[in-house]
Structure 1
Amino acid sequence: MNSLRKEPLGGGSSEPLPVAIIGNGPSGICLSYLLSGNTPYVKSHAVHPHPLLQRKLMETPGVSIMDQDLDYLSEGLEGRCESPVALLFDALLRPDTDFGGDMESVLTWKHEKERTVPHVVLGRNLPGGAWHSIDGSMVTLSQGQWMGLPDLQVKDWMRKKRRGLRNSRATAGDIAHYYRDYVTKKGLEHNFVSGAVVTAVKWEGLEPQDSGAQDSRPLFQVSGFLQNAQDPSPQPFILRARNLVLATGTYDSPARLGVPGESLPFVHHELAALEAAMRAGTVTPASEPVLIVGAGLSAADAVLYARHCNVPVIHAFRRSVDDPGLVFNQLPKMLYPEYHKVHQMMRDQSFLSPGPYEGYLSLPQHQLLLLKEDCQAVFRDPRGGQKAFGVSLVLVLIGSYPDLSFLPGGGALLTMDPSQPLSAKRNPIHVDPFTYQSTHQEGLYALGPLAGDNFVRFVQGGALAAASSLLRKETRKPP
């Protein structure tokens, strides 16, 4: 998976590849599994607890889910996601999980070689994508069983590895290992190229769909380079594909505050910087406080890590502690006790009400104005006054954006509102909800957070929709 393959990356063949996938996280892995001839069918004697869905499934016994009308099957389903196909696939894989049940999937999987669609999956990291960049000891937000991919449950994989879930959740390290193992166990390795950095995508000339046809479709030219730990010199590649799938996630480009001094060397945008400073001894329990800016889960993880290392913390955020939009106010306390502990600290240990948490100071509704070279952080408080604090390190953890700089216009023209920046939560790529093909560009697909699906549990429905569409295209078989 780490070496350059002569086909299709070498560019020696004039025949374009049917599908190129950029991104090797859960979305890309799931799509590769489906395009490799692995086909879902409803078990012959399975009974789904959702009566309407069960009736629809009984109408077409023996017909693959990928050959059915996904719009029709998903109609009437409700859940924690806005994507109808994501709800459908999740309901088939985990029929009653939202009601606390542990019912087996109603799907069975068959490998049908004739359904294989040749493809390549390009990723900067090992299979699993950004999960390999997260501190392995961090615990997943979602329940461990929701992190699984088709036909290999996380709990079964962990049992064989003699690992266990923590309060029904898994560590990021275990999940990264699971995704990498999944690719191997399912025989997908030959489709994956790791260390692949895509630098440009162009829409090429049109290719006739078949001889004598009047209509045609675009070809995509993908160029970039391969980086290999054993070979420091990058190897350029160019490939051509009839269809391009974007599955890069949103962790490429950390969001910035845009304040003066944000580019100073003691200011960082990822938790790994604090871990490195601790290892190097530049930040210790005797240092000035570490400033953590943000009120999301990444900021909470940083607070927890710093507290574990007995490092003093100043925690600043612009919202009120009781803001209903704050993520802590949306998480069940029983499932996420560590995050609710941080939320309690944010409330009880503010500059207005000193509390019992020594070495921690909360600054709610404070706006960072300036970072000075002498490691001073200047804030505007809720009353309009200014405060300055000495700090040893600054972590700005306020979210991240996808990096689609390799696309024309950075991908902005593909979004729901082309006049606004691309954002997984506020302005994702505009796709057809039942094929995940771009509404702006034929042959271009987007999966996962790029299409507005932000949890592993639900990104798989996008892979199902895209695979169904691509299979129809590339095999030209009627449903």
Structure 2
Amino acid sequence: MPAAACSGARCCSNHKQNPEINKDQEITETDVYEFVIIGNGPSGISLSYMLSGNWPYYTGESEDELLHTRLQQEPDLSLVEQDLAFLSDGLEGRSNNPVSLLLDTLQHPQADLGLDLPSLLDWRQDTSRRVKHVVLGRGKPGGVWQTLDGNLKTVSLGAWMQLPNLSMPKWEAHNTALVNRRTSFSNVAQYYMDYVDIMDLSQNFRNNTVVTHVKQILHCPTNPEKRRYQPCLSEEKSSSPKICTNKEPINILSQSLKDETGGEDEMFCMEDGELSSCCSSLTYHSSSPSRDSPESSACDRESRERRTSGSDFNDSGRASSSAESKQTPPCDIETSNSFSFSIPGYDTDICPSWDPIINPALFSLPRRPSLNPSQLEDIQCSRIPGAELNSPGYCKLSCSAKSLPLSAFSCENPESLYEVRGYEIQTSETGERETKPFKYLTHNVVLATGLDKPNRLEVPGEELNFVIHSLRELEIAIEAGAVTPNSDPIMIIGAGLSAADAIICAQSYDIPVVHVFRRAVDDSQLIFNKLPVNLYPEYHKIHQMMAEGSVESQRVLRGEFVDREHPRYRAFSQTDVSQIIRDRQAVLKGPFTNLTVKVSFVLVLIGATPDLEFLKTDSELGQVPGAPIERENPIDIDVYTHQSLNVPGLFAMGPLTGDNFVRFLQGGALAITSYSYRKKISSLQDG
């Protein structure tokens, strides 16, 4: 039982994780999924396409003769069926993941040379290869692309933004948008939504969801042959089995059901012989057979007749242990969502019921550590005809995804699964937002969330209202007239492409800019030094401005003062912001800088990190132990399967593994699909 009931200001432990969804009953997927994919951006979409039975086949001829030779070893097999380590050996490019390089080399031949050549792959669908999965996303398919300013241009070429088997030109047949070599964010966002529909993937997607909880659990297989009853007998012979008290109970849904403070989250309590619940919306009092079933009706009728006649009860009201009461009951009930067990002092020959009038003995049981009330949820009793008392076959067992098993039961081979919880945001007929909680059980979880939480400076004053952390917030300020060409300059902090986009945006409105960044302009790690000049002239123009920018608006050229080409842009390299002052000033510190600058807004664009607070694990995930997951510390994976090296069953793809371009992240989908195929083949071979 929760420590206190729900109130207007406080929720009980059953509901406290998400108070907005208290009124809604949890929707539970009883089937076990093979994959739950968290994130419905390009990564999640690509993986869903391949897990739906769409596999790539090499049909062209690569300019890489060694790769072509390797691919000809088994020309009739899909890449999914081949040895990805062998195929990708020796490939080089702009990704650290070899499978990403392999797929990109075949989908976009010679792309880094600026060429737009046809793909060397043929995609073929076989529905028998489908893998049961679901994709969970916060918004529409496309992920973060659905939230960006549609007027901006992509960093990558339009062809590099496309997903498997649907080229941008082919998509134009379904859409009137004009796609150039570099396309707008709005076109990309629409393309991803259309892709899901055109490729018939909608049934795999559950949009507008928020994942709140992912954890590993122990789960009993639904196959009853793998479940058994283990009675504990006392040293003296007993006429009834006792519940084991010396064994750690197996928990179906969790290794321990605890609330956030570490205490036991008791859903039921036994007080004065009554079973009660403070919060009934997520707590079930009864697991008796459905009243609509003929077996249930027969059992209820028979048990009432026997209770009325007094044949099964002694004077104390407890179940009799006489020989007459040990006859096989007329109804042998076994449901797919219930347990069968024996309770000391309660004769299992009587058909189960939670009705205190029908079965008063159940509600007069003494409290015991091994049979606490929370373990009585969703369980039923039935005896196997002919089985000896205390024998392993005394009770039938069937698994329940909602029940906590008694310690008297065990699975011969309990399987490790993941439990994924969250809620879906829906709109009612009246236009009000509603939330529906959900739960999935799955063998594997794929993290495809991207880097969606902006990094912060962590300096005094960052909480002030003129400090913003996204380009969209700057655009809103410009549209509202909060910043104009006559305003104090916007301070843009960062040296990545997002900062460059912000500078380009400000220049288009003739707004002055103060650009602050930590690295030296000639640092080889700057993204501008990695981009081809002919493909990204505007970014190299920003890089040139960063090199030439200074505090002065003029410079000396051949002994004469001349105006700078961009006098409304000032750059401060190797500089930090040490403080932001309330009167719209920022204090700059660096080897060559020590001043305070008046600003209108401060735009912080120093990268982002993934929001993985929903992931409940103590294991290290990153390549750098003890450091948070970020762009410089991706999740440590097996590069040929994309499975975490430290957490089995946990996979990652996209920016979480260092693949920040759409053309490369699809390799993660191929690696995971290949893993799934090989695991299936191995299971079949093992019988």
Residue identity opposite 2:57 in structure 1: Y
Aligned mates of 1:209, 1:101 — CA distance in 2:
53
Deviation at 1:13, TM superposition (A): 4.4
Equivalent of 2:650, from 444, 458, 477?
444
Amino acid of the residue matched to residue 138 of structure 2? R
- Deviation of residue 93 (structure 1)? 1.6
- The answer to whether structure 1 residue 15 and structure 2 residue 31 are counterparts is yes
Which residue of 35, 38, 47 corresponds with 2:51?
35
The equivalent residue for 1:47 is 61
Q: Structure 1, residues 332-374: CA drift from partner, whole Å, max 9, x if none?
A: 3222122222222223331156323243222222211111111
Q: Do residues 461 (structure 1) and 667 (structure 2) align?
A: yes
Which TM-score applies when normalising by structure 2? 0.64
- Other-structure match for 2:589: 380
Alpha carbons of structure 1 residues 404 and 47: separation in structure 2 relative to 1, 3 Å: same
Distance 1:81 1:153 in 2: 22
Cα distance, 1:52 vs structure 2:
1.9
Q: Any idea what SS the aligned residue of 2:30 has?
A: coil
Whole-angstrom CA distance in 1 between matches of 2:502 and 2:643: 37
Of 353-362 and 311-320, deviating more is: 353-362
**Is the counterpart of residue 223 in structure 1 residue 421 in structure 2?**
yes
Deviation at 1:401, TM superposition (A): 0.6
2:468 alignment partner in structure 1: 268
Change (3 A) 1:329 1:203: same
2:72 is equivalent to residue 58 of structure 1? yes
Aligned counterparts, 1:61-100, within 5 A: 61-100=75-114
Residues 236 and 457 of structure 1: CA distance in aligned 2, closer, same or farther (over 3 Å)? same
Structure 1 residue corresponding to 2:206, chosen from 181, 186, 193: 193
The equivalent position to 2:442 in structure 1, one of 234, 237, 241, is 241
* Identity across the alignment (%): 45
Shift in Å at residue 51 of structure 1? 1.8
**Taking structure 1 as reference, are residues 51 and 303 closer, same or farther at Cα in structure 2, changes over 3 Å only?**
same
Aligned partner of 1:218: which letter? S
Matches within 5 A, 1:76-475: 76-158=90-172, 161-166=175-180, 168-206=181-219, 217-228=415-426, 230-250=431-451, 252-352=452-552, 354=554, 355-383=564-592, 386-408=594-616, 413-424=620-631, 426-474=632-680
AA in 1 matched with 2:570: L
Note if contact 1:11-1:239 (Cα within 8 Å) is conserved in structure 2. Answer: no
Contact 2:491 2:603 in 1 (8 A): yes
Distance 1:362 1:448 in 2: 32
**Structure having the larger proportion of residues in helix:** 1
* Alignment check: 8 A CA contact 1:35 1:471 kept: no
Q: Per-residue deviation at 1:433? A: 1.1
**Contact 2:55–2:80 (8 Å) recurs in 1:** yes
- Once the 2 structures are TM-superposed, how far is the Cα of residue 59 of structure 1 from its aligned partner? 2.0
In terms of mean alpha carbon deviation, does 464-473 or 16-25 score higher? 464-473
Contact 2:53/2:131, CA 8 A, preserved across alignment: yes
Instruction: Please tell me the residue identity of whatever aligns with 2:196.
Output: V
Note if contact 2:114-2:535 (Cα within 8 Å) is conserved in structure 1.
no
Distance 1:309 1:14, change over 3 A: same
Q: Cα deviations across residues 422-464 of structure 1 (Å, max 9, x unaligned)?
A: 123x221111111111111211111111122221111111100
For residue 234 of structure 1, report the CA deviation from its aligned partner: 2.3
AA in 1 matched with 2:674: S
Helix, strand or coil at the partner of 1:243: strand
**C-alpha separation in 2, matches of 1:218 and 1:95:** 41
Which runs of 5 or more structure 2 residues have no equivalent in the other structure? 1-24, 227-410, 555-563
CA contact (8 A) 1:37 1:117 kept: yes
- Work out whether residues 346 and 362 of structure 1, in 8 Å CA contact, stay in contact via their aligned partners in 2: yes
- Residues 254-276 of structure 1, C-alpha deviations (whole Å, 9 max, x = no match): 11111100011110111111111
8 A contact 1:472–1:478 mirrored in 2: no
Using the TM superposition, give the Cα deviation of residue 84 of structure 1 relative to its aligned residue in structure 2, in angstroms.
1.3
Post-superposition CA distance 1:229-280 (Å, at most 9, x none): 5442322222111111110011x21111111000111101111111111222
Larger Rg: 2
Which secondary structure state, in structure 2, belongs to the residue aligned with residue 41 of structure 1? strand
Give the drift of 1:36. Answer: 0.7
Seen in structure 2, the aligned counterparts of structure 1 residues 378 and 197 have a Cα distance that, compared at 3 Å, is same
Deviating more after overlay: 432-441 vs 347-356: 347-356
Using a 3 Å threshold, how does the CA distance of structure 1 residues 207 and 56 change in structure 2: closer, same or farther? farther
